Amino acid sequence: PPTPFCAMISAEWDHDRVRGHLRSLRGRPFHGFALGCGVHWLAVLYVDHGSVGGRELVVTDSFNKALLVEDDADLPAQATRIIETCREGAVRRLGKAWGWRGRPSADLDAAFENGVPEFHRGNRVIEHFWQFRSVTLQENEMLQEFTILRDHLRFIAAELDCLPPSA
């Protein structure tokens, strides 16, 4: 018969609470974490395969992009690559928006680069909340997300090294 799936899921921001969950696993083969990373969430599943396969972390996030970066110096290039892969779709969506239909592609490209300001009751909304944010802001936000993601993963990996070996 299949092994029953017994897991807990914790939504956490605080590393001390994550440490507490990891240290209280007590033979549970799985534990899931939803970890805040600024704007997005990171889901981490800890799996203990026992003496057969050791431990592993399965990571997914709300970017739906490959985020593995070997060197921190590569983070800006990775952020730029991800944003560039979204360019065509974002420009196409903008071109379908009211007030942008029929505009020249140069205008749409400039809007993608510089963002499209939004207003509420005559007041300009902070750029972080625009539907079409500037490339510079998107890159800065993504670098912040990557940094938080990296810190979470390093912390969890270090904590797992402190756990007793799998039975």
Domain that residue 126 falls in: 72-146
Question: Tokens in use for 66?
Answer: 């490959």
- Residue 46 counted as domain residue: no
- Residue 129 counted as domain residue: yes
How much of the chain is in helix, strand and coil states, percent to nearest 5?
45, 20, 35
Task: Give the C-alpha separation, 113 to 83, whole Å.
Answer: 11
- Residue 153 counted as domain residue: no
User: Which of the residues in the chain have pLDDT under 70?
Assistant: 1-13, 25-28, 51, 53, 62-70, 162-167
Domain count, the chain: 1
pLDDT tens track for 55-83: 777 777 766 665 666 677 788 888 898 89
Residue of 165, 155, 138 lying closest to 21 (CA atoms): 155
Report CA Rg, the chain.
21
Predicted TM-score of the model (pTM): 0.71
Neighbours of 96 (CB within 10 A): 8
